[in-house]
Homo-oligomer: A and B are copies of this chain.
């Protein structure tokens, strides 16, 4: 079994954009499978790369945020997360910027921790998690008018308890958090 073998690759026979808005880019592809089947209606959502951050203070508190999420219509406690902007030189820079803007925290030692796909079938992007140890409050928040974000510091035990209870509902955050507690117990 050769993992890099892309023998199941689909050919794109036709492709057009239905929407190209700043927060929504929808493409409709007509695709042909290796078995010859043609599917005229395969929708792809194009997004920029995403990032999120497991940010730990010197005394092992997690720097988290609390905000409203309109898809589920719930207020949730989450990792800091965001989009890699065209002005960011890398996903790491985007992660540092988002942590600073949303919480005022910075500095610390940063490393890439986990990269996953939000949806390998229908979306084009990846989500990169960074682990930042030893961050500290270096400023106040810098929020836009569409952002309404509380900063929440939780102990390691409290984060693990909430994770086991399923409170970190975002899959892109549950994956790196479970990895973190799997590797750091």
Contacts and interface: CB of A to CB of B under 8 A. Distances in A.
A71 B166 contact: no
Contact of A119 (B21, B24, B71, B73): B71
A9 interface: yes
B19 A70 contact: no
When all copies of this chain in the complex are counted, the total is 2
Chain A, interface residues (CB within 8 Å), range: 35 or more
A153 to B, nearest CB: 11
Contacts of A34: 148
A131 to B, nearest CB: 14
B114 A174 contact: yes
B39 A146 contact: yes
B41 A21 contact: yes
